[in-house]
Structure 1
Amino acid sequence: MKKRKFGLALSLVLAAGTILGACGNNESEQGGGDEGKDNKASDFKVGLVTDTGGVDDKSFNQSAWEGLKKFGEEKGLTENEGYRYLQSEKEADYIPNLSQFAENGFDVTFAAGFLLADAVKASAEQNENAHFALIDSLLSDENGEPVWLNNVSNVTFDEHSGSFLVGVIAAKHTKSKKLGFVGGVDSPLIKKFENGFKAGVKSVDPTIEVVVQYAGDFNKPENGTSIASTMYSGGVDIIYHAAGGTGNGVFTEAKNRKANGEEVWVIGVDRDQHEEGLPENVTLTSMVKRVDNAVYEISKMALDGNFPGGKETVFGLAEEGVGIAPTTENVSQEALDLVEEFKQKILDGEIEVPKTDEEFEAFEASLQ
């Protein structure tokens, strides 16, 4: 199937059109649009399968679950029966968990994270009448070529663009001119966070150093603590993490150091992680990735009979799918103003934010 790419704005238009059409049909056939919609939602079931990071990782998985809960509660679904999650303790749990939802008649099963891509492909091929939504990745074959299945919705984000913006903030706030990036698993997805962040930093001040290290896991907070300790001891004063539950360890180290009088900061990811930095107040800002909105919107589209299977739905800056967190108390007005300037340049196509190491090298060279 030829690849088709849609932004959230188009998805919302399609969803809105479907809602209006559904209401019109219900009114003529049943005498009340709301009544028909309630009856339709009462039989709808939607599930979430997490990766090994857990549903309470205070980051990606938690955001996905919050979106599912919002949808379920608004539609009057019962938790566990109408909406629920299954937490994967190990990689071998992915296919059984996905299959459990499919075999029990769930209308949509969300797979939280690129680590579940192979499991989604296998499960979708085995359950052709079930709908799956893969968050953060595209299906691919053994050669890395995209695979488009009509019963799989591929949901991605412009993480590099959002990371660029928090890189701008970090560059305006660093005193040591030495920043850190902690990634979970070294992968094309997390590379988007890394390279977008570095590009934002270098766009403000090319002389700032960015130290990068990967933890090799999204659920090892102790690794995050160890890496952060080394970075802070080496002169880094702000660390941006894209490491899920491993990032909790970065916060732990920062809070311990700030309690002892050091001025260090953390930039959170996926959700507004301001509260994770309390009570020492170490969260400078966060790159919010609205996984919750994506889960909510895809669920809504499926309920309305408009499941975007066989497509890639992209949530970017224009769709407010990524950006900086609403909590800005620790960010200077100068930095916020600069963020808006760069955001507009990205939207206008004046800046093409790099995703890969090769693209970053070319971007950095263009600044010299």
Structure 2
Amino acid sequence: MRRLTKVTAALGAVALVLAASGCAKKETDTNDGAKSDCVAKDAKKKVGMAFDVGGRGDQSFNDSAAKGLDDAACEFGFTAKTAEAQDGEAESAREGRLRQLSDAGYNPVIAVGFAYSGSVAKVAKEYPKVNFAIIDDEVAAGDNIANLVFAEEQGSFLVGAAAALKSKAKHIGFVGGVEVPLIKKFEAGYEAGAKAVDPEIKIDSRYLTQPPDFSGFGDPAKGKTAAEGMYDGGADIVYHAAGGSGGGVFEAAKAAEGKAIGVDSDQAKTADASVKDVIMTSMLKNVDVAVLAYLKATDEGSVPTGVSRYDLEVDGVGYSTTGGQVDDIKQKLDEYKAQIVDGTIKVPTK
């Protein structure tokens, strides 16, 4: 095994090409039972994925991870199994989920989200021959643990700049799912980007829950209520980093005739048709790219361990242009991106 400290531009480019490419040659069952043209499954190549709250179908973070898993199963013939998390579950439930996948012969096992930090650290010691990867966590460490992390603050800077450039009210908002250091990175980048455009802009901020309550990532009603307060208070654009709760933010934007900014995936493509037009842009966090790159290396016999960081330089984060609502400011946003990549702009994480 090899220890990685940073993803190279070349690796990022290879992963992006793979993520965009078609699968090869033979029709087979995918993980969810659908059919697609993929290589045949290999029963000896088993990969497990434990989802975070919200699970497959959240149109955001978990779905992006699932896409990477599905792409890898298609490209390389992995037999994949997924396991769902439940709102309010105890640490023991997360540990049990990882153990069940390991006992069933799935190797590697990918944990989606920082909530698995303690569980991965503990279970990886119990199963030294199983390789684990955890998304969004650098704390869990071990010779059989890979940490797939992102520069969320950099992508958030760009959508913050977009919000300030497009806001007519000079008043915007941020809804975070759970007030934890990871989501504070989104908020810090968003605020920095907005203030780079307009130092006087007003920014409202609200978190839906506090740890250990992680339901803020899967409660659209709370997301709607939080965003309604911001629109009613004069904000005209609200960015959410709240997983499945973001659907409520979009509903509030629609009712208020405002705009919203999605997260993780290009949500103008995945959200309900009734609200797609309010999604001005989304902060792209290419979890699928990280998962696919990890599984590609695993398939090649060189299982990554340690921290692999996906930033703007390797297109690990970015912003979407679906719908054309930021086409008029794209040049300015790309100028900010270049300044972040070359180090002229240092984006805060707090």
The alignment's TM-score, normalised by the length of structure 1, stands at 0.81
Residue 214 of structure 1 deviates from its aligned partner by: 0.3
Residue 327 of structure 1 deviates from its aligned partner by: 1.3
Equivalent in the alignment of 1:241: 240
Match of 1:293 among 276, 289, 293: 289
Equivalent in the alignment of 1:362: none
Q: Does 1:162 align with 2:163?
A: no
Equivalent in the alignment of 2:266: 272
Match of 1:210 among 181, 191, 203: 203
Equivalent in the alignment of 1:304: 300
Q: 1:97-150 CA deviation, whole Å, 9 max, x = no partner? A: 11111111112111100011111111101111111100001125xxxxxxx301
Task: Tell me the secondary structure at the aligned position of residue 184 of structure 1.
Answer: strand
Q: 1:31-67 CA deviation, whole Å, 9 max, x = no partner? A: xxxxxxx899552111110122222111000110111
Q: Which has the larger radius of gyration?
A: 1
**Structure 2 unaligned runs (5+)?**
16-38, 210-215
Equivalent in the alignment of 1:316: 311
Residue 85 of structure 1 deviates from its aligned partner by: 0.8
Task: Tell me the secondary structure at the aligned position of residue 117 of structure 1.
Answer: helix
Distance change in 2, residues 1:284/1:203 (3 Å): same
- Aligned-partner residue type, residue 85 of structure 1: T
Distance 1:242 1:343 in 2: 20
Equivalent in the alignment of 2:81: 84
Task: Tell me the secondary structure at the aligned position of residue 165 of structure 2.
Answer: helix
Identity rate, percent:
39
Structure 1 outlier segments of 4+, above 4 Å: 10-15, 38-42
Task: Tell me the secondary structure at the aligned position of residue 110 of structure 2.
Answer: strand
Residue 222 of structure 1 deviates from its aligned partner by: 0.9
Distance 1:228 1:316 in 2: 28
Q: Does 1:221 align with 2:217?
A: no
Residue 4 of structure 1 deviates from its aligned partner by: 5.6
- Asked if the contact 2:50–2:112 (Cα under 8 Å) also holds between the matched residues in 1, the reply is yes
Q: Does 1:150 align with 2:146?
A: no
Distance change in 2, residues 1:348/1:13 (3 Å): closer
Distance 1:175 1:12 in 2: 37
Task: Tell me the secondary structure at the aligned position of residue 215 of structure 1.
Answer: strand
Q: 1:315-337 CA deviation, whole Å, 9 max, x = no partner? A: 1111110001141511142x111
Equivalent in the alignment of 1:195: 188
- Asked if the contact 2:159–2:261 (Cα under 8 Å) also holds between the matched residues in 1, the reply is yes
Distance 2:281 2:109 in 1: 32
Equivalent in the alignment of 2:231: 232
Task: Tell me the secondary structure at the aligned position of residue 280 of structure 2.
Answer: strand
Distance 1:323 1:73 in 2: 25
Per mean C-alpha deviation after superposition, the further-off stretch among 47-56 and 126-135 is 47-56
- Asked if the contact 1:169–1:339 (Cα under 8 Å) also holds between the matched residues in 2, the reply is yes
- Asked if the contact 1:277–1:283 (Cα under 8 Å) also holds between the matched residues in 2, the reply is no
Cα-Cα RMSD: 2.0
Distance change in 2, residues 1:316/1:12 (3 Å): closer
Task: Tell me the secondary structure at the aligned position of residue 235 of structure 2.
Answer: coil
Q: Does 1:344 align with 2:338?
A: yes
Distance 1:184 1:307 in 2: 32
| Higher share of residues assigned strand | 2
Q: 1:216-238 CA deviation, whole Å, 9 max, x = no partner? A: 12111111011011111000100
Distance 1:168 1:13 in 2: 26
- Aligned-partner residue type, residue 339 of structure 1: L
- Asked if the contact 2:41–2:73 (Cα under 8 Å) also holds between the matched residues in 1, the reply is no
Distance 1:75 1:224 in 2: 38
- Asked if the contact 2:217–2:245 (Cα under 8 Å) also holds between the matched residues in 1, the reply is yes
- Aligned residues, how many? 314
Distance 1:150 1:229 in 2: 47
Task: Tell me the secondary structure at the aligned position of residue 5 of structure 1.
Answer: coil
Distance change in 2, residues 1:207/1:129 (3 Å): same
- Asked if the contact 1:48–1:86 (Cα under 8 Å) also holds between the matched residues in 2, the reply is yes
- Asked if the contact 2:237–2:260 (Cα under 8 Å) also holds between the matched residues in 1, the reply is yes
Task: Tell me the secondary structure at the aligned position of residue 43 of structure 1.
Answer: coil
- Asked if the contact 1:14–1:306 (Cα under 8 Å) also holds between the matched residues in 2, the reply is no
Distance 1:96 1:353 in 2: 38
**Structure 1 unaligned runs (5+)?**
16-37, 141-147, 357-368
Distance change in 2, residues 1:124/1:242 (3 Å): same
Trace 1:323-334 onto structure 2 (pairs within 5 A). 323-333=318-328
Per mean C-alpha deviation after superposition, the further-off stretch among 297-306 and 40-49 is 40-49
Distance change in 2, residues 1:245/1:43 (3 Å): same
Task: Tell me the secondary structure at the aligned position of residue 267 of structure 2.
Answer: coil
Distance 2:9 2:312 in 1: 11
